Structure 1
Amino acid sequence: MTEFNEKQIDILQVAERLFAEKGFDGTSIRDISKEAKINIAMISYYFGSKEKLLEALIFSRTADLKIQLENLRNEAIPPMEKIDRLIEFYVHRINKNKCIYQILHFEFSSQKRSVDFKAFTEVKKSNLLSLEKIITEGQDLGIFKKNIVIALIPPTILGTYFHFNMNRPYYEEIFDLKTEQDYDNYIKTDLTKHIQQTIKALLVYEN
């Protein structure tokens, strides 16, 4: 499923909020239908099950990054600038969709059920392909070194962001971030710049 109608989008938004607040197991289809002000049959009609609803939610929150990266890959700008832009996209998307990434982390680590994340995995593979093409372009131009493990770049970006977010009270104190706006601005500017510098060091500096 690649496109959603207005009612499906409403259901997905309600489900995302409830999954983040109460957990996947703690949220029932009845909870979602009540909050979305629709009957249970409509959720079953659109999505089939709670697991399929989660799959649709994950796909809806990650598919647009795929389009952004494909467009970036084809832009007529230097590879180093593409890397900066790519990291901006990643950090913005993660920060905007913190809830779904928290749900994802829990579900991937849970052994209690088998949720089919095939569509999400295919999106990640496509995103990695876009990143590989950007880095290969830089390697061909002699800008980036050859011995790069490209598949470890996305988790380096994600890991830095999530460490920062999971230790939010600590970083709010040491960086004097008093408001939500202060916190978001720090992520958008200083944290993003730090991640950009880290990734570019991995791409350029020899061991």
Structure 2
Amino acid sequence: MENDLNDKQIQILKIAETLFAEKGFDGTSIRDISKEAKINVAMVSYYFGSKEKLLEALVLFKTSGLKEQLVNLIEENLEPIEKINKLIELYINRLNCNRGIYRILHFELASKKKVLELESFTDIKKSNLKSLELIIQEGQAKGVFRKDVIIPLLTPTILGTYFHFQMNKPFFEEILDLKTEEAYNNYIKTDLTKHIQQTIKALLIYEN
């Protein structure tokens, strides 16, 4: 989607992401966004139509890239468990680099509003799930992965672990002695990612 946007549109989306994350969707107005972007309100409306359409564009802008990465991963010459490990790395990296939009998604979905009932976003999630299914099915065909895996529950297992870690950041910073933001982020990229990989592997691989 990024290739379809010009520099001004991308600037508006990035500003909207910051404001939505700080003030919530309802607490942010088009006027707030236009003021921060130093453009007039009509320009935001011209590019995106409404605040709801702006949020939809932001969600797609931040999440569509993973779809392409997963499609490419399927074609790589790797063993199924290596593909799963790489898939988890892609998910965690994408989440960690886009904390703002996922904070917005979590808040808006938790509020049970209809703002985020986006067909296009649902299509992306279905496509990502399909990529995961293809990797699992490859491993099952090779006799490596269990046949009784509930594939749709693997994604929430990955994401749920990550989001729990993020939502309890001060707690984990203290007990894991992560004194800087760099240390915290490095822990996510290494230890937390490895823990999630081990968890998913335990769900997929036959017990000896």
Coarse TM-score class (shorter-chain normalised): over 0.9
Residue segments in structure 2 that go unaligned for 5+ positions in a row: none
Q: How many residues align?
A: 207
* Deviations 1:86-138 (CA, angstroms, capped at 9, x unpaired): 00000001111111111111222324444441111100000000000000000
Q: Could you list the runs of 4 or more consecutive aligned residues of structure 1 that deviate by over 6 angstroms after TM superposition? A: none
* Deviations 1:177-199 (CA, angstroms, capped at 9, x unpaired): 00000000000000000000000
Matched position secondary structure for 2:146? coil
CA–CA distance in 2 between the matches of 1:134 and 1:177? 34
Name the structure 2 match of 1:48. Answer: 49
Name the structure 1 match of 2:197. Answer: 196
CA–CA distance in 1 between the matches of 2:56 and 2:167? 24
CA–CA distance in 2 between the matches of 1:28 and 1:108? 19
CA–CA distance in 1 between the matches of 2:136 and 2:104? 30
Name the structure 2 match of 1:123. Answer: 124
Residue segments in structure 1 that go unaligned for 5+ positions in a row: none
* Equivalent pair of 1:172/1:183 in contact (CA under 8 Å): yes
Name the structure 1 match of 2:188. Answer: 187
Normalising to structure 1: TM-score of the pair?
0.96
CA–CA distance in 2 between the matches of 1:145 and 1:51? 42
Is 1:82 the counterpart of 2:83? The answer is yes
Name the structure 1 match of 2:16. Answer: 15
Query: Which residue identity does 2:150 align to in structure 1?
Result: V
Aligned-CA RMSD value: 1.4
* Deviations 1:129-162 (CA, angstroms, capped at 9, x unpaired): 0000000000000000100111111110110001
Name the structure 2 match of 1:175. Answer: 176
* Equivalent pair of 1:55/1:116 in contact (CA under 8 Å): no
Q: Percent identity?
A: 67
* Equivalent pair of 1:33/1:40 in contact (CA under 8 Å): yes
Which deviates more, 119-128 or 103-112?
A: 103-112
CA–CA distance in 2 between the matches of 1:117 and 1:98? 20
CA–CA distance in 1 between the matches of 2:72 and 2:102? 23
CA–CA distance in 2 between the matches of 1:167 and 1:115? 25
